[in-house]
């Protein structure tokens, strides 16, 4: 079901992009010669933008199989996203310390993202996708502690992403993103799983 939702989002983006392109060429004859040349030059260029973000907020929304809630003690990590005119590719790495455990337990998260929009590219003339973006990511969650490898499997993680790009200067942008992560880790000695789903807010810069 989640895969169909992700495919539907990508299809919607493709259709909207195709419509925008057709609409632009339908209006092209009414534009002056000078403006048409400028538009073609801008449309033909492809920029590369680098975006770095760090976790501002990390809150668990899932629970243990017995109903106990998880709480993040501290979270370290980063996001690197390489964006082109509209498409972007990202890598995320987090290490989250969990509160109220008998000994130190950390949740290590690795995610790979595909994003559309909010890259900050000057060549993007769209009034919406230049500032707003969406994305999908997948990877894994793994518990790190003295007894974790013996008792827990590595879990599959996926997420939906909402991105916002706020231009500051011609060269720098403020980046913020909201991530809805879904993740479960199964026990090795029990037929149960703990839910490590979380909401993550990141803030960073792009150039």
For the chain, the domains span: 1-44, 48-206
Query: Among 52, 110, 104, 117, which Cα is nearest to 81's?
Result: 52
CATH number of 48-206: 2.40.160.20
**What mean pLDDT comes out for the span 101-111?**
94
163: Cβ contacts below 8 Å, ≥ 6 apart: 115, 117, 118, 132, 133, 134, 135, 175, 176, 177
More confident call, 85 vs 43: 85
**What are the C-alpha distances in Å from 175 to residues 29, 49, 148, 199, 204?**
37, 12, 35, 17, 5
Of the given ranges (15-24, 80-89, 111-120), which has the lowest mean pLDDT?
Answer: 15-24
Across the chain, what does the average pLDDT equal? 82
Percent of the chain with pLDDT over 70: 77
How far is Cα 169 from Cα 205, in angstroms, rounded to an integer? 11
**What mean pLDDT comes out for the span 121-134?**
82
Look at residue 23 and tell me whether its pLDDT is greater than 90: no
């Amino acid at each position: 079901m989640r895969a169909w939702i992700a495919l539907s989002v990508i299809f919607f983006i493709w259709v909207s992009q195709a419509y925008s392109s057709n609409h632009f060429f339908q209006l092209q004859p009414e534009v002056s010669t000078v403006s048409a040349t400028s538009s073609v030059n801008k449309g033909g260029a492809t920029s590369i933008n680098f975006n770095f973000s760090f976790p501002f907020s990390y809150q668990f929304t899932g629970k243990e199989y017995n109903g106990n809630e998880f709480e993040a003690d501290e979270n370290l990590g980063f996001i690197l996203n390489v964006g082109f005119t509209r498409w972007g590719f990202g890598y995320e790495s987090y290490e989250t310390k969990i509160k109220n455990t008998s000994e130190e337990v950390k949740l290590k998260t690795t995610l790979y993202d595909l994003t559309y929009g909010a890259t900050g590219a000057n060549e993007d003339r769209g009034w919406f996708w230049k500032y707003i973006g969406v994305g999908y990511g997948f990877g894994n969650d793994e518990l790190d502690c003295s007894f974790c490898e013996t008792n827990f499997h590595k879990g599959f993680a996926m997420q939906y992403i909402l991105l916002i790009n706020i231009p500051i200067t011609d060269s720098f942008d403020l980046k913020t993103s909201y991530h809805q992560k879904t993740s479960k880790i199964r026990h090795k000695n029990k037929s149960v799983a703990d839910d490590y789903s979380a909401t993550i807010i990141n803030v960073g810069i792009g150039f």
